[in-house]
A = this chain, B = another copy of it.
Amino acid sequence: MTTTAAELDRFAAAASAAAPIWRASAAPERAGWLRALADALDAAADELVPIADRETRLGAPRLHGEVARTTGQLRLFATVVEEGSFHELIVDDADPQASPPRPELRRMLVGVGPVAVFAASNFPFAFSVCGGDTASALAAGNPVIVKAHSGHPELSRRTAEIAVAALAAAGAPAGSFALVEGREAGNALVQHAAIRAAGFTGSVAGGRALFDLASGRPDPIPFYGELGSVNPVVLTPAAVAARGAELARGLVGSFTLGAGQFCTKPGVVFVPEGSGFEDEVAAVVGAAHGGPLLTDRITGAFPSGIAQLEADPATAVLGFGAETTDGARPVVLTTDAEAVTARPDALLAEVFGPVTLLVRYAGEAALHAALRVVPGSLTATLHAEQDDDVAETLELLQERAGRVLFAGWPTGVAVTWSQQHGGPWPATTSLHTSVGATAIRRFLRPVAFQDAPSRLLPEVLRDEALTLLPHRRNGVLVLP
């Protein structure tokens, strides 16, 4: 099923007509639309999860959890809208004594206009039709047109129907939401004159192609893509000595979670040479389970990615997970830091699925040389002990990643005010987050009003509204 150019034009025209209404919508109204969408999805979970399971094979428990994560995310953004900081209200009163005399200026962030969202395959709810990009774009005050992922077409259509109905029932304008299908429609969407920004989660190749289309427009638009990430982990000798077995269990659990199909999967692990950590991993990986992969493309790419790594003269297979008749079998490979430093492109390409690469390092110099060539990542994890001197390692990790962890494993991504899910290229095309409250910032633009009569200002910029909202006035932050 492919959306035609005429259908896309119709969706885009409706979104353009809806944009001023979304932009001007008051907080209670907009928050209500988001909560209505969340409620409708929760109510439909028992219908949607079986469709999702049939199309993605991720299993009902995980998928029910993901629906809850998705609706929780919509509700968090409703709270963000009500709290009001996202407007970044700033007022400077006129100063006729200044030289030159200063006018009154009132600045706010407003919705950028219709947003295109490209759904991912690996989270058919949380990063798909009504996922984080959609939630943050709506919260910012924008209509959304989603390009469905071909990995779960029926789920996408049904979710979109529910979204359209829920928004309409809650009083949101026609044109608030639409779904398009097919690669051609996606390419046309990101180049459509009505679209003012795009969000994307997917592969480096797909994301780069769309980024290039967005940047190549006569009027370039921001393209917020989350593409690929190897998520380096560093273990210090002291950490392995203190808790090697626990770390091995944690790593195996994390890289096989969701059959290794998390964007935050730990894909490369720096282990101290001679620490015995490889033996610890070998001892536990055999019991780990993989599982069916999401799509035929991913299912085909996994063995060829592994084969390429295995064929490299610098690698060896450390061990496999449990045999499986249906899907990918976990596998751990090893290499050393010198090989990674010399040939990062060959050894550090992301392989989607349950595989990780242990990289032996002998001493800090070898570790740091290898860390300098690790591609930009969403996360970096450091397992160290209290007395370790990790200053330089930490410096390198925070240059390479948007989230740095000191305990646990990177595969969990809490949806909170403080979350940051982004990192240097190719983790994301921009440095902004696609998870957490601040994801809203991507779909907003600043407008300042100079010497405006109060009646012509957007409501939130008038004095009576300012007393109820966080804002800055004459340089000073003021809370309600």
Binding site for B on A (CB under 8 A): 20, 79, 83, 85, 88, 90-92, 100, 102-103, 105-107, 110, 112-113, 211-212, 215-216, 219-220, 222, 376, 386, 390, 394-395, 398-399, 401-408, 412, 414, 416-420, 422, 424-426, 429-433, 437-438, 445-453, 456, 470, 472, 474-475, 477, 479
CB distance from A405 to the nearest CB of B (A): 4
Beyond A211-B215, A219-B376, A406-B456: 6 further Cβ-contacts under 8 Å?
A92-B417, A92-B418, A105-B419, A401-B447, A407-B450, A418-B448
Q: Which B residues are in CB contact (< 8 Å) with A426?
A: 219
Contact between chains at A412 and B100 (CB < 8 Å): yes
Q: Which B residues are in CB contact (< 8 Å) with A212?
A: 215-216
> CA A432 – CA B447 in complex, angstroms?
10
Contact between chains at A451 and B405 (CB < 8 Å): yes
Q: How many copies does the complex hold?
A: 2
CB distance from A461 to the nearest CB of B (A): 10
Contact between chains at A414 and B105 (CB < 8 Å): yes
Nearest residue (CB) in B for A407 is B451
Contact between chains at A438 and B446 (CB < 8 Å): yes
Contact between chains at A477 and B85 (CB < 8 Å): yes
Contact between chains at A438 and B219 (CB < 8 Å): no
Nearest residue (CB) in B for A390 is B456
With known contacts A112-B431, A417-B92, A219–B407 Cβ distance under 8 A:
no
> CA A222 – CA B224 in complex, angstroms?
11
Contact between chains at B479 and A416 (CB < 8 Å): no
Nearest residue (CB) in B for A458 is B398
CB distance from A97 to the nearest CB of B (A): 13
> CA A424 – CA B113 in complex, angstroms?
11
Contact between chains at B92 and A450 (CB < 8 Å): no
Q: Which B residues are in CB contact (< 8 Å) with A472?
A: 85, 417-418
Q: Which B residues are in CB contact (< 8 Å) with A107?
A: 418-420, 438
CB distance from A31 to the nearest CB of B (A): 15
CB distance from A263 to the nearest CB of B (A): 15
Contact between chains at B398 and A419 (CB < 8 Å): no
Q: Contact check: which of B211, B386, B402, B479 meets A445 at CB < 8 Å?
A: B402
**CB-defined A-B contacts under 8 Å, sample of 22:** A20-B399, A85-B477, A88-B438, A90-B418, A91-B418, A100-B412, A103-B408, A107-B418, A112-B431, A211-B215, A211-B220, A215-B215, A220-B425, A222-B430, A386-B453, A402-B448, A404-B448, A406-B449, A406-B451, A406-B453, A418-B448, A418-B472
> CA A394 – CA B90 in complex, angstroms?
20
Which residue among A107, A424, A425 has the maximum number of chain B CB atoms within 10 Å of its CB? A107
Q: Which B residues are in CB contact (< 8 Å) with A432?
A: 446
> CA A402 – CA B8 in complex, angstroms?
28
Contact between chains at B450 and A106 (CB < 8 Å): no
Q: Which B residues are in CB contact (< 8 Å) with A100?
A: 412
Contact between chains at A450 and B406 (CB < 8 Å): yes
Q: Which B residues are in CB contact (< 8 Å) with A405?
A: 103, 450-451
Nearest residue (CB) in B for A68 is B99
With known contacts A105-B414, A407-B451, A395–B20 Cβ distance under 8 A:
yes
Q: Which B residues are in CB contact (< 8 Å) with A477?
A: 85, 470, 479
CB distance from A323 to the nearest CB of B (A): 29
Q: Which B residues are in CB contact (< 8 Å) with A422?
A: 446
Q: Which B residues are in CB contact (< 8 Å) with A222?
A: 430-431
> CA A401 – CA B404 in complex, angstroms?
39
Q: Which B residues are in CB contact (< 8 Å) with A449?
A: 403-404, 406
List the 8 shortest-distance A-B pairs measured between CB atoms, nearest first: A420-B448, A431-B445, A215-B215, A219-B425, A407-B451, A90-B418, A105-B418, A405-B450
Q: Which B residues are in CB contact (< 8 Å) with A425?
A: 219-220
> CA A347 – CA B450 in complex, angstroms?
27
Contact between chains at B79 and A475 (CB < 8 Å): yes
